[in-house]
Amino acid sequence: MKASLRDIIFKISQLNAVHRYYICKTVPQGVYFGQPPILEYLNSHESCTQRELADYLMVSPPSVTMSIKRMQKAGLVEKSTDERDMRYSRIRITEKGLNISRKCCDSFERIDRQMLNGFSEQEIEQLYCFLTRMADNLKADKLSSKDVLDFNEKH
């Protein structure tokens, strides 16, 4: 059977849906789907601004604002005024956030290993190269980051 382009894209979408399902099942109670990437970023950066988070996640600053408010309320992050520029807030991960981030990373690592079970290192590298080329092909079509941000906000 020869797979059509539509079949391949459907498989990618199906894989994304199944992966997201397993990720959502492993996220601790009270933690929203989009929060683990924020915690992971904060874990590897001592502190950052909401703009830096928005740029990293490719979402709008208001989306990050809502997530940060929820995460502050849950005790996962803390916000303080930037010492050098009072107009900005710095966001830091708390000990509770760090513990949840570690649990999520461990779970996500298990899911990813299961998903790639039986693949050789060479096949994984090749898959990575293919996916990178696909993303680059779409970027070459003059999609601006604003278009991506607008899409993320609407969907």
For the segment 60-75, what is each residue's pLDDT rounded down to a tens digit? Answer: 888 899 999 999 999 9
How confident is the model over 101-146, as pLDDT tens digits? 999 999 999 999 999 999 999 999 999 999 999 988 888 766 555 5
DSSP string, 71-110: HHHTTSEEEEE-SS-TT-EEEEE-HHHHHHHHHHHHHHHH
Confidence of residue 155 (pLDDT cuts 50, 70, 90): very low
Share of the chain above pLDDT 90, in %: 61
Confidence of residue 149 (pLDDT cuts 50, 70, 90): very low
Q: In the 8-state DSSP scheme, what is residue 45?
A: S
**What is the average pLDDT score of the chain?**
88
